[in-house]
Chains A and B, each alone.
Chain A
Amino acid sequence: ETGVTQTPRHLVMGMTNKKSLKCEQHLGHNAMYWYKQSAKKPLELMFVYNFKEQTENNSVPSRFSPECPNSSHLFLHLHTLQPEDSALYLCASSHGMNTEAFFGQGTRLTVV
């Protein structure tokens, strides 16, 4: 148990579907992150939220839409994805912006 919970753990979706990934942390952290992890590639930072405000969008396509309703919850809304978007999507949180990040178990996404 890492303190950061992601649901679902696995997701298969078609290219025309709309789905959402959910991340929840009860560690009292102020910053939350979405990362993408593809095979043989580094963890890629997608979005950063600090105190519910988005502070970073790392040139992510608009078919990925984040939402942070409060400091404990983070969503990633998915729409008209491509097969190359299949990857492990990891959520993380940290107390501050330059402190240790705690990761969730990730959502394994397959786009068919």
Chain B
Amino acid sequence: GQNIDQPTEMTATEGAIVQINCTYQTSGFNGLFWYQQHAGEAPTFLSYNVLDGLEEKGRFSSFLSRSKGYSYLLLKELQMKDSASYLCANPNTGKLIFGQGTTLQVKP
């Protein structure tokens, strides 16, 4: 079986840092993806973690702990355009299974 949990909504202030958590339970592990989806648009790839630790990519970083079944996406220097849904996903035997997504609202 497979279960992915994320908070439903978060609010943060422009210029701040926000951390979006994702916990997962899966019978097989092949990495953890993060996607960004703006309203009415397609999800776009942000990051992929397969080993433990932090991967930094500009303002966005993603962390993975396989032993804890836990990942987070860290967004720094928030901008208004970062308001979107953030989806974590686990590929398992060829199926990319998504969590419910976290809707982030960035306020001035």
Contact = CB atoms under 8 A, between A and B. Distances in A.
Interface residues of A, number: 27
Interface string B77-93: 00000000001010101
Contacts of A97: 91, 93-94
A66 interface: no
Contact of A98 (B44, B87, B91): B91
Contact of A45 (B4, B41, B44, B97): B97
Interface string A95-107: 0011111111110
B100 A41 contact: yes
Contacts of B94: 31, 48, 50, 55-56, 97-98
Contact of A90 (B42, B93, B100): B42
Contacts of A45: 95-98
A42 B91 CA distance: 15
B45 A102 contact: yes
Contacts of B98: 42-43, 45
Interface of A: 2, 4, 31, 33, 40-43, 45, 48, 50, 55-56, 58, 90, 92, 94, 97-106
Interface of B: 4, 30-31, 33, 41-45, 48, 87, 89, 91, 93-101
